[in-house]
Structure 1
Amino acid sequence: MKWIKRPAALWRACRHDSKMRFAAPAARHDTMKTPENHRDASREMLLQQAWQWLRVLHSGVASAEDARGFRQWVHASAAHQSAYQEAKRRWDRLKQPAGALLQSQADLVGAYEHGLRGRRAFLGAAASTAVVALVAVNYSPWGLWPTSSEWRADYRTGTGEQRAIDLGEHVHLTLNTRTNASPQVKGHEVVGLDLVSGEAAIELTLSGQPFFVRAGVGSAAAAYGQFEVRHVAQQVCVSCIAGEVHLSHPLGGKTLKANEQVIYDAVSVSRVNAVDPQVLSSWRRGLLVFKQTPLGDALDEINRYRPGRVVLVNAAARTKNVTGHFAIASLDLALIQLQHVFGLKARALPGGLLLLS
């Protein structure tokens, strides 16, 4: 399992692969040490770096290490600060067509600028503390930053990442993209998982003590077999792959058998429904499978696996159905295909925002 790597001395150019790794811009401090006739080129390079930093700060995976890197970069010289301010002015002009859709992102960048002006907050001497203050909230529009519960999770995966974990000899766990979870321990044994957000697949290789996954107000448990729990946007989906899964919920319990699932939230529980085994667990095979899925829902799912945000502003297209198999490693190609099929126009904006109209 490869994690996001952000070297402190030199930030490599960002690139995308099957792990969807995202790196911050270069942070060399000798950028402005150029001859007189190269000043224009140097300023253009700084502007490009400033744009990259703005994307990092809006990527949804910005960390305390990113904060330190940005602070080092922006305070390297007056030219760096000037380039950032110029990039931000252009950013503001470009985001106007998106209107309220970008308000949350504008607020986030404003927090960074406040720290820059006051040499306090998240860019000052208390940078790491301010980062915690910034992300330790219980509301995160579009998932731009972790909530307080997600920040405290023991297990975390970033955008496009998956992580395999062995919880004891007979419990195998696979975490999908943007997942935050913590093990539940009784004595010296891990007996369950608290799934704060995201998606987890659990494989129990030997029948024994029930292993539970708590998500929202409910809890799913099994003594053997395989099951998955998905906790996204305050809604939880429990799917049984093999064996039996028992759901506990304030409104009543349910029992699921292979290829069955149930969906619940804080105020309701669905009936037990059959699920297509070809769709179930497709993410573990590196695929997103849609069968008569509304385009709006399909794009919401794609957004979980790639940096930035795709926003569908064509209301008429939102309910049109999508059927197909899309490789998680090639979601930009999938977006091009969807644009062609539904006759959509794409407009790229700063911060990795893509408007489809």
Structure 2
Amino acid sequence: MPPSTDNPDSEPNQIDPDLIQEQARDWLVRITSGNMSPDEAESFKRWCAQSQLHARTFAETSRTWRLLGAAAELNSDTPVPLPARQLSRRHFLAAAAGVTGVAMVTHFGMRTGISLGTDSSIQTARGEQKRLDISSDIAITLNTLTRVELLNANTSTNEHRVRLVSGEMDVQCSSFAEGFSIFAAGGEITGSDAHINVKHINDSVQVTCLQGLAEVSYQGQRARIGSGEQIRYSPSSFAPPAPVDANHVSAWLNRVLVFDDIPLGEVIEEVNRYRSGKILLLNAQVAKRRVQARFELDRLDEVITLMTDVYGIKSLSLPGGVVVLT
């Protein structure tokens, strides 16, 4: 629990840089947990206002935290979340000293001819998109925070199998593509002469056919979907095909997000996948409101303007791109 600014015993009589460093880390853990209450947000604001050292220490701590996250992903095949609550101050500072000189570049465009690693996997960073030309007949575009594995990239067969470990991918395959399969969370998606969007977030998978035909198999159940249809499956369900607006689903290819009658809380979750930092909506009632919105990926802070201007929600901007909405 972060230090309370309302308790006179929670702060020393004289400024203690080590204690402020520890408190800054505790505040950062609380903020990034997504469970910060409005009262705690006000308490944090008062803590930052105590001195320039308080505000500067939190800004530096937030920056270091982001660098550590990037370093962890650069040195691991799978992005590794930082063990925030288990990371001691000593280890935190020691790790921070080890990331000096780490350079990061965010690519918002698309790249072709990606060179794969020895494990035949590739992933994208936050806000990044990449295009993979699997063959002359199959092209895949990876969306933000996505990881895929090419299961037979080192073989000479005409079969192509891809596992979507997490994130979202757009797949276009011509009628000449042979034996193309996508695996995601235990399910299999196949298609020929088709344009397919597959999104795998947590345990849920969403398969949308944008053009042509696709077949989805999961736990013994099988269904075929045509253009403008979508199937969702998870460990607890296999929903029947449902009509969707294919242009909305694929809007991210044009660097746009479109939401049609979607709860605002889900909108913010999706925006957080693209935006640096994090938007925290602490008003549970507002989170349930269904909205229609369109945001350009280069102007995602417009979602904050929407909530402050339309819904009258108060916003608190914090270092590291964190915005608390109450």
Normalised TM-score (structure 1): 0.63
**Where does the alignment leave 5 or more consecutive residues of structure 2 unmatched?**
1-51, 76-80, 100-118
| Matching of residue 223 in structure 1 with residue 192 in structure 2 | yes
State the alpha-carbon separation in 2 of the partners of residues 252 and 65 from structure 1: 35
Q: SS of 2:215's equivalent?
A: strand
**Partner in structure 2 of residue 263 of structure 1:** 232
- Correspondence 1:160-175 to 2 at 5 A: 160-175=127-142
Q: CA deviation at 1:223?
A: 1.9
Q: Which residue of 1 aligns with 2:70?
A: 62
- Aligned partner (choices 255, 258, 264) of residue 286 of structure 1: 255
SS at match of 1:62: helix
More helix by percentage: 1
1:270: how far off?
A: 0.5
Distance, in Å, in 1 between the alignment partners of 2:247 and 2:188 is 25
Please show how residues 31-180 of structure 1 align to structure 2 within 5 Å.
51-52=59-60, 54-58=62-66, 61-64=69-72, 108=84, 111=87, 113-115=89-91, 122=95, 154-180=121-147
Q: How far apart are 1:111 and its partner, in Å?
A: 2.1
State the structure with bigger RCO (CA 8 A, min sep 6), 1 or 2.
1
Q: 2:181, 2:232 → 1: CA distance?
A: 16
The CA deviation at 1:112 is 6.4
Give the superposition deviation at 1:55: 2.8
Gaps (5+ residues) in structure 1?
Answer: 1-43, 68-103, 129-151
The letter for the 1-side match of 2:142 is L
How does 1:244-263 map onto structure 2 within 5 Å? Answer: 244-263=213-232
Cα separation, partners in 2 of 1:66 and 1:251, compared to 1, 3 Å: closer
Whether 1:323 and 2:299 are equivalent positions in the alignment is no
- Shift, 1:53, TM fit: 5.3
1:233 aligns to 2:202 (yes or no): yes
Match of 1:188 among 156, 164, 176: 156
Q: Which of the two has greater strand per residue? A: 2
Give the residue type in structure 2 aligned to 1:188.
S
User: Is residue 324 of structure 2 the alignment partner of residue 355 of structure 1?
Assistant: yes
- Find the aligned partners of 1:49 and 1:215 in 2 and give their Cα distance: 42
User: Matched residues, percent identical?
Assistant: 26
RMSD (Å), alpha carbons: 2.9
**Count of aligned pairs between the two proteins:** 248
Offset from partner CA, 1:198-224 (integer Å, 9 cap, x none): 000000123331311111021111122
